[in-house]
């Protein structure tokens, strides 16, 4: 059976107190909407329709970046969840398969749960996702009759017996697309809010003779985000799960609670991550690497056996080959560091390539920006770059070449050459004594005045 996703992402999120649409607030460096879309991706859906509303242009731009094939439709007026789903009807007019309805602010529904919802379609026309809540007071209850879902009742409308039920409604549903749209046409808005509720489908489906079933999941999967506090809690949930997964895969986290991971972080087994390391998007660390404390990595690749940090920063485009060393207070950006090369202290290497087994001395800087354009530095294998060398790009340093400490390199250095570019040292006998005496006398005069 072919499937489609409808993801509701139209809410303003007033409690977020933000100009950014709620569903675009990040969890682990990715919009929560992206997490919801990723959950549904396990179905390999034929269509993904995102229903936007507040700041729809921002949502559309984000969705296009996540999945250029996804369709964004706009709910001009926010008239309830049922009304939101109806906005997807035109986009799915030719579609005859099953649809799964997700929420952009409920980012943690697992692939397994969604698969079980689709599997339950073999015994029911409409499937609703429920969960056993620790504190169910504010949730709608799922009232079962045997294995069938009889109705959804809101807490304020529930009897004492119904309020004792802990099986609650998540809002997620699955069913035949055209059947859901036909039922939504019959949903009214005779309620205090004047809105069209998706939950009314259960009663309408049963009234039409359709079978309705409930599938359950862990409460943590249904965590919704409506405030900054909720966002922080959701991020903490993601981090806890991601760290546990890395530990299970054979990665050593010396202080797990201090390591911050991105949604797409990949780390190989036997890698050691010291405390207070931050991973931004797009990081791959191969097996057997060492990432020392207080380092920040983003958009980079670290190969087997490499050592990074402490206090190192790897920016997008940093490529470290095997057994490289990147030391304290070193920044690497858009640069390839070849096997066995070392950049150990207080250096900036940007828009550059560093050859195999080359040593970059402390304080070295590739001067890659002229105020308008970026320029590249190329350093050959087994070169030795002296401390405090300034490499004014574009420039090439040959194989096994050297630069003297404090050199400003403005032209290419051939293989095996030594580059020196600094003024000759001049010593003035006794001048230090005279200068200090003069300065002290000047200070004493100012103090008396």
In angstroms, rounded to a whole number, what is the distance separating the alpha carbons of residues 289 and 320?
Answer: 11
447 contact partners, CB below 8 Å, separation of at least 6: none
Peptide bond into 394 cis (omega under 30): yes
CA–CA distances in Å: residue 93 to residues 4, 90, 110, 139, 177: 12, 5, 28, 33, 9
Catalytic site residue from 25, 301, 325, 345: 345
Neighbours of 122 (CB within 10 A): 8
Rounded CA gap, 410 and 420, in Å? 11
Closest-CA residue to 1 (of 130, 87, 99, 127): 99
Burial 351-375 (b: 16+ CB within 10 A, else e): bbbbbbbbbbbbbbbbbbeeeeeeb
Please say if 301 is a catalytic residue. Answer: no
The residues that bridge with 143 in the sheet, in sequence order, are 151
19, burial (CB in 10 Å: exposed 0-12, middle 13-18, buried 19+): exposed
Active site members: 345
């Amino acid at each position: 059976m072919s499937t489609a996703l409808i993801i509701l992402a139209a809410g303003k999120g007033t409690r977020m107190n933000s100009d950014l649409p709620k569903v675009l607030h990040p969890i682990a460096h990715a919009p929560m909407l992206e997490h919801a879309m990723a959950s549904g991706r396990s179905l390999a859906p034929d269509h993904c329709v995102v229903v936007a509303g507040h700041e729809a242009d921002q949502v559309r731009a984000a969705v296009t970046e996540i999945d250029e094939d996804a369709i964004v439709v706009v709910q001009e007026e926010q008239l309830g969840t049922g009304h939101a789903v109806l906005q997807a009807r035109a986009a799915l007019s030719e579609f005859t398969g099953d649809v799964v309805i997700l929420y952009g602010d409920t980012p943690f529904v697992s692939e397994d749960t969604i698969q079980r919802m689709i599997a339950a379609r073999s015994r029911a026309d409409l499937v609703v996702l429920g969960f056993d809540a620790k504190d169910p007071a504010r949730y709608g209850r799922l009232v079962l009759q045997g294995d069938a879902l009889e109705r959804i009742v809101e807490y304020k409308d529930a009897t004492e017996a119904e309020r004792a039920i802990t099986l609650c409604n998540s809002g997620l549903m699955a069913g035949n697309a055209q059947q859901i749209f036909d039922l939504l046409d019959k949903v009214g808005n005779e309620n205090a809010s004047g809105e069209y509720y998706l939950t009314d489908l259960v009663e309408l489906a049963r009234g039409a003779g359709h079978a309705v079933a409930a599938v359950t999941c862990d409460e943590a999967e249904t965590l919704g985000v409506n405030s900054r506090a909720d966002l922080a809690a959701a991020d903490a949930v993601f981090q806890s799960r991601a760290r546990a997964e890395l530990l299970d895969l054979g990665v050593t986290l010396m202080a797990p609670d201090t390591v911050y991971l991105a949604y797409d972080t990949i780390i190989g087994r036997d890698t050691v991550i010291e405390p207070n390391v931050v991973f931004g998007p797009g990081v791959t660390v191969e097996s057997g690497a060492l990432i020392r404390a207080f380092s920040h990595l983003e958009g980079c690749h670290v190969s087997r056996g490499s050592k990074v940090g402490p206090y190192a920063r790897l920016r997008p485009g940093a490529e470290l080959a095997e057994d490289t060393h990147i030391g304290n207070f070193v920044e690497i950006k858009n640069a390839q560091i070849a096997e066995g090369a070392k950049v150990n202290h207080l250096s900036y290497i940007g828009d550059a390539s560093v050859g195999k087994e080359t040593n970059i001395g402390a304080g070295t800087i590739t001067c890659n920006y002229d105020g308008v354009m970026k320029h590249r530095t190329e350093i050959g294998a087994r070169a030795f770059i002296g401390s405090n060398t300034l490499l004014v790009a574009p420039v090439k340093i040959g194989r096994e070449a050297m630069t003297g400490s404090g050199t400003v390199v403005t032209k290419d250095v051939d293989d095996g050459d030594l580059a020196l570019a600094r003024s000759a040292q001049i010593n003035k006998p006794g001048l230090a004594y005279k200068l200090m005496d003069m300065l002290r006398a000047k200070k004493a005069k100012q103090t008396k005045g």
